[in-house]
C-alpha cells in the first residue's frame, strides 16, 4: 500500500498548478518528463486498485489485451502534436491529460504487463520504439513549427530527446532478446 | 479472450476513436496550425480596418488601400533570416505569375511587418527592392498602433512569439481577402502554383 500512497502523492504533486506550468513551459519536459511521470503515478497506484477491485481486472482484462490496447490508443493520442498544444490552450484537455495518463495508461499498462507475456511485451516495446522514432524524426526534420506554443529550437531538442530514448530502448530490446535466448 | 474482454475491446476502440475524432476535428487537423487554418476558412472573419504606414511613409486604412480589390497578404519582419525571405520570394513568384491586368485592376499585394519598432519606412523601402516589389501594386507596410496590430494578428490567427535574440517565431501563410474585406482563404505559402490558380479562379469567377 506504500506504493499507492507514493503514487497518489506524485499525482497530486504533478497537478499542482506551479509544477504543471513549469513542466509544460519547456517542451521536452512536457513530453518526456511530465507525461511519463503521470503514467508512473498510475503505475504506483495500481496495487491499490487491484486490492480494491480484484474481480474487475480479472473479468475485463483477463488476457491483458484490452488493457494494452487502451494504453496504445491513449498514448498514441498524446503523440499528436496538436494534443500538446490543446492541453495548454484548453483546460478540459489538460484535465483529460491529468486523468488519462495515470488511469488509462499507467494502471492498465501495469495490470496488463505480466498478462501479455513475453511476446506481447515485445510487441508493445516495438510500438513504443516506433512512436519515439516517428515523433523524433518529425520534430527534427520538419522545419515548420508543429506546435504553436513552442519555439522550433525546442521542437528540435524534443526530437533529439526522442531519438536518444529510442536508442536506449533499442539497446534494451536487444538485451532482452539475448536474455530470453539464454533462458531457453 | 473471454466475452467480457471482447466487449471491453469494442468499448476501448470506440472510446479511442472518439478521443481521436474530438482531438483532431474528425481527423482533419493534427496540428494546431491546421486546426486554426480550417477554422479561419470556415469562419471567414472580417479583416479589421487598421491604419497602415507603407515604405513610402504614406498612411491609409486597409479599406482605402483595398478600393474594392482583393487583398493578398503576408506577415513578416525584415530581420528574419529564415522563413520570411522564402515567404516573400514565393509571394514574388505568385505576383509574377498573375496576368498584369489582374494585378492592375483586381488584386492588391500587401506585406505587413509585425516588427513595428525596427521596420520603419526606410527599412521597408530597402527590403521591398529585394523582391522587385513596386511599392504600389505590392506594398510593404507596418501598423504603428500596437493595439490595431494585435487585433489584426489575432483576427487572422497569426501567432508571433518574440525570442531572446530580437527574432520572432511566427506561423506563415498566404492570406486572401475578398473585395468586401472578408478573409476567404489561408494558403500554404510553399504551394505557389496552387495559390496562383486559386486567385485566378476567384477573380475569374467574379468577372464572369
Is B146 contained in some domain? yes
3 state DSSP class of B201: helix
Residue B58: CB atoms within 10 A of its CB come to 13
Residues B110 and B94: beta-carbon distance below 8 Å: no
Averaged pLDDT of chain B: 91
Same domain, B85 and B143: yes
Is B145 contained in some domain? yes
> How many Å apart are CA A61 and CA B126, to the nearest integer?
68
Complex ipTM tops 0.85 = yes
3 state DSSP class of A48: helix
Q: Region B71-97: what's the mean pLDDT?
A: 92
Same domain, B166 and B107: yes
More confident residue, B34 or A115: A115
Is B196 contained in some domain? yes
User: Does residue A151 belong to the interface with chain B, where contact is any CB pair within 8 Å?
Assistant: yes
Is B39 contained in some domain? no
Percent of chain A at pLDDT above 70? 98
Same domain, B24 and B57: no
Is B41 contained in some domain? no
B108 vs chain A: nearest CA distance in angstroms?
27
Same domain, B145 and B197: yes
Query: Is B208's pLDDT higher than 70?
Result: no
Same domain, B20 and B80: no
Q: Do A86 and B4 touch (CB under 8 A)?
A: no
Residue B185: which H helix or E strand, with range? strand B183-187
Residues A163 and A134: beta-carbon distance below 8 Å: no
**Model pLDDT for residues A20-79, shown as the tens digit of each residue:** 999 999 999 999 999 999 999 999 999 999 999 999 999 999 999 999 999 999 999 999
Residues A3 and A47: beta-carbon distance below 8 Å: yes
Query: Is B207's pLDDT higher than 60?
Result: no
User: Does residue A47 belong to the interface with chain B, where contact is any CB pair within 8 Å?
Assistant: no
> How many Å apart are CA B154 and CA B183, to the nearest integer?
13
**Model pLDDT for residues A99-131, shown as the tens digit of each residue:** 999 999 999 999 999 999 999 999 999 999 999
Same domain, B24 and B108: no
Same domain, B16 and B100: no
Is B36 contained in some domain? no
More confident residue, B153 or B159: B153
- B4, B13, B20: residue with CB nearest A77: B20
Same domain, B182 and B101: yes
- B8, B20, B33: residue with CB nearest A66: B8
Q: Do A82 and B171 touch (CB under 8 A)?
A: no
Same domain, B85 and B20: no
- Domain extents for chain A? 2-183
Band (A182; pLDDT cuts 50, 70, 90): confident
Beta-carbon contacts of A53 under 8 Å, excluding residues fewer than 6 positions away, are none
- A66, A89, A149: residue with CB nearest B5: A66
Same domain, B120 and B78: yes
3 state DSSP class of B177: strand
* Residues of B whose CB is below 8 A from A93: 23
Is B96 contained in some domain? yes
User: Does residue B10 belong to the interface with chain A, where contact is any CB pair within 8 Å?
Assistant: no
Residue B140: which H helix or E strand, with range? strand B138-142
Same domain, B22 and B97: no
Quote the pTM value: 0.79
How many domains would you assign to chain B?
2
- Domain residue limits at B162: 47-207
**Model pLDDT for residues B176-200, shown as the tens digit of each residue:** 999 999 999 999 899 999 999 999 9
β-strands B174-177, B183-187 pairing:
antiparallel
- Whichever domain contains B128, its CATH number is 3.40.30.10
Same domain, B114 and B16: no
B58 vs chain A: nearest CA distance in angstroms?
34
Residue-level pLDDT at A27: 92
Amino acid at each position: 500500500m506504500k506504493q499507492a500512497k507514493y503514487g497518489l502523492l506524485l499525482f497530486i504533486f504533478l497537478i499542482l498548478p506551479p509544477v504543471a506550468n513549469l513542466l509544460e513551459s519547456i517542451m521536452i519536459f512536457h513530453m518526456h518528463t511530465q507525461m511519463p511521470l503521470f503514467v508512473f503515478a498510475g503505475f504506483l497506484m495500481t496495487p491499490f486498485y487491484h486490492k480494491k477491485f480484484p474481480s474487475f481486472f480479472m473479468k475485463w482484462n483477463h488476457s491483458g489485451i484490452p488493457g494494452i490496447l487502451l494504453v496504445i490508443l491513449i498514448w498514441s493520442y498524446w503523440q499528436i502534436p496538436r494534443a500538446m498544444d490543446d492541453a495548454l490552450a484548453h483546460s478540459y484537455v489538460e484535465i483529460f491529460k491529468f486523468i488519462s495518463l495515470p488511469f488509462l495508461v499507467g494502471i492498465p499498462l501495469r495490470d496488463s504487463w505480466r498478462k501479455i507475456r513475453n511476446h506481447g511485451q515485445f510487441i508493445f516495446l516495438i510500438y513504443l520504439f516506433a512512436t519515439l522514432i516517428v515523433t523524433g524524426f518529425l520534430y527534427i526534420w520538419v522545419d515548420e513549427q508543429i506546435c504553436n506554443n513552442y519555439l522550433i529550437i525546442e521542437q528540435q531538442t524534443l526530437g533529439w530527446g526522442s531519438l536518444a530514448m529510442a536508442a536506449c530502448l533499442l539497446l534494451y530490446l536487444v538485451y532482452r532478446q539475448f536474455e530470453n535466448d539464454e533462458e531457453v | 479472450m473471454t466475452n467480457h474482454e471482447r466487449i471491453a475491446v469494442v468499448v476501448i476502440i470506440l472510446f479511442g476513436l472518439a478521443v481521436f475524432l474530438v482531438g483532431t476535428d474528425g481527423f482533419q487537423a493534427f496540428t494546431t496550425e491546421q486546426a486554426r487554418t480550417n477554422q479561419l476558412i470556415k469562419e471567414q472573419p472580417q479583416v479589421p480596418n487598421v491604419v497602415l504606414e507603407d515604405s513610402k511613409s504614406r498612411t491609409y486604412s486597409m479599406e482605402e488601400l483595398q478600393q474594392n480589390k482583393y487583398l493578398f497578404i503576408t506577415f513578416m519582419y525584415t530581420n528574419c533570416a529564415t522563413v520570411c525571405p522564402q515567404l516573400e520570394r514565393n509571394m514574388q513568384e505568385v505576383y509574377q505569375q498573375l496576368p498584369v491586368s489582374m494585378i492592375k485592376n483586381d488584386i492588391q499585394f500587401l506585406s505587413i511587418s509585425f516588427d513595428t519598432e525596427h521596420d520603419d519606412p526606410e527599412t521597408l523601402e530597402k527590403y521591398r527592392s529585394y523582391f522587385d516589389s513596386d511599392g504600389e501594386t505590392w506594398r510593404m507596410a507596418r501598423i504603428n498602433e500596437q493595439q490595431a496590430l494585435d487585433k489584426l494578428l489575432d483576427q487572422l490567427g497569426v501567432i508571433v512569439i518574440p525570442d531572446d535574440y530580437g527574432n520572432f517565431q511566427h506561423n506563415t501563410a498566404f492570406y486572401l481577402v475578398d473585395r468586401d474585406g472578408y478573409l476567404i482563404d489561408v494558403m500554404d505559402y510553399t504551394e505557389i502554383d496552387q495559390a496562383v490558380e486559386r486567385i485566378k479562379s476567384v477573380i475569374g469567377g467574379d468577372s464572369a
